[in-house]
Amino acid sequence: MKVTVLGAGITGVTTAYYLAKMGHQVEVVDKHKEVAMGTSFANGCQLSASNAEVWNSWRNIQKGIKWMLSKDAPLLINPTPTLHKYSWLVQFMLNIKNREQNTKQTCEMALEAHHLYKEIMRDEGITDSDIDKVDRGIMHIYRNQEELEHARLSNKLYTDSGLKRWEVSTSEMLDIEPALEQTSSTIIGGFYNDTDFTADIHKFCAKLAEILKTKYNVKFTQKYLDGNDPLLYRREGPVVICAGPGSRDLCFQLGLILPIYPVKGYSVTVNLKENGDKAPWTSILDDETKIVCSRLGNRLRVAGTAEFAGYDDRIREERVKPLVNWINTTFPGVDTNNAKSWAGLRPMTPNMMPIVRHGDRYNIWLNTGHGHLGWTLGAFTAKQVAEQIADHCN
């Protein structure tokens, strides 16, 4: 079957992979010439079942209201009213009741995806160094008692879903990650798991795309698609929309309303040069501020912050500053003078669950809306949509 995949980010290339492996003739279409130039370019790089907790809670709403008053807070909501933003926020609140169920399901999908990524790497000969993969687990750190108490409650959701994750004392944390010594006086405790891992999402997409071209004859075409493009209305072969934050606009023109809001985030990447021993190898998640930190060979990537400001991916220095400050205070031995900043839009649904299904229009399929966990969940939902298409066509 001839299948078109729209979007060459992590969801697009992994979808193309599973479809091509099933023997379909696959074409990937993207407005960029290179793959992974959208949100999959420079994210936090964590494959984190331990970050599966959905954000839908009254506790987070309270924090959000408090943060609205501060420009460098982890969350910033542009108060200008738009129907898109406010209807999304209402749906976000309506999904608070589904918090436990959605957290568990996300954690289970993430654990499955871990296996699938490792299978892809083994089957396609992708090495750890090809993608700067680091298998040292993820440590969640806490600097205040209330956050730590909350983490103790949430941990049950993780362990019930099959993730082995346990509380660690500050001295155990230092044994696991000695670079934390530089900030140990501010940390009161943490949680650790040794199965989550990190790798450069952009390098992975580029490597897999190369394999798709040479081994599976997948065609990559550079083209901007608008909702009137005849390709979308074709009935002969499925079209899978993996357009990340662009999926909503595209589907809107097809008469399909996807509840996706582009939640902006930032990353900074530091070239470690001679001070590499001061940077951690274990990936860190600072739970209160939701800042993540991953070691990518001789680089350190720190990412976070959430901004509700529409389809605007411009870099605002005052939003980058908290990330650089975080490095300066947590790992003061790391020189941040060469920090390179980036901004991307998370394709976020109000219940924080990806949309993986037939689009109820023409021959359109959807694999999108992965929010803050597209790298973590990508391989799982790609296989899922490829299997749904196969079942539908049989």
Using CB under 6 A as the binding rule, whether residue 137 contacts ligand FAD is answered as no
Name which position in 104, 202, 295, 372 contacts ligand FAD (CB under 6 A): 372
Using CB under 6 A as the binding rule, whether residue 262 contacts ligand FAD is answered as no
Using CB under 6 A as the binding rule, whether residue 322 contacts ligand FAD is answered as no
Question: 180-199: which residues touch ligand FAD (CB under 6 A)?
Answer: none
Using CB under 6 A as the binding rule, whether residue 280 contacts ligand FAD is answered as no
Name which position in 12, 137, 238, 262 contacts ligand FAD (CB under 6 A): 12
Name which position in 38, 137, 350, 359 contacts ligand FAD (CB under 6 A): 38
- Nearer to ligand FAD by Cβ, of 142 and 220: the residue is 220
- What is the per-residue binding string for ligand FAD in 324-353, x denoting contact by CB under 6 A? --------------------x-xx------
Name which position in 3, 20, 26, 43 contacts ligand FAD (CB under 6 A): 43
Q: What's the rounded Cα separation, in Å, for the pair 219 and 176?
A: 44
Name which position in 52, 239, 240, 292 contacts ligand FAD (CB under 6 A): 292
Name which position in 3, 20, 26, 45 contacts ligand FAD (CB under 6 A): 45
The CB-of-242 to ligand FAD minimum distance in angstroms stands at 5
| 62-to-74, 75, 91, 170, 348 alpha-carbon distances in Å | 13, 12, 16, 29, 20
Name which position in 117, 192, 220, 375 contacts ligand FAD (CB under 6 A): 375
The CB-of-266 to ligand FAD minimum distance in angstroms stands at 6
Question: 217-246: which residues touch ligand FAD (CB under 6 A)?
Answer: 224-225, 242-246
Using CB under 6 A as the binding rule, whether residue 39 contacts ligand FAD is answered as yes
- Nearer to ligand FAD by Cβ, of 273 and 362: the residue is 362
Question: 89-108: which residues touch ligand FAD (CB under 6 A)?
Answer: none
Handedness of CA 342, 345, 351, 352 (dihedral sign): negative
Q: Which stretch binds ligand FAD (CB under 6 A): 165-173, 211-219, 268-276, 374-382?
A: 374-382
Q: Which residues bind ligand FAD (CB under 6 A)?
A: 7-12, 30-32, 37-40, 43-46, 48, 224-225, 242-246, 250, 265-267, 292, 303, 344, 346-347, 368, 370-376
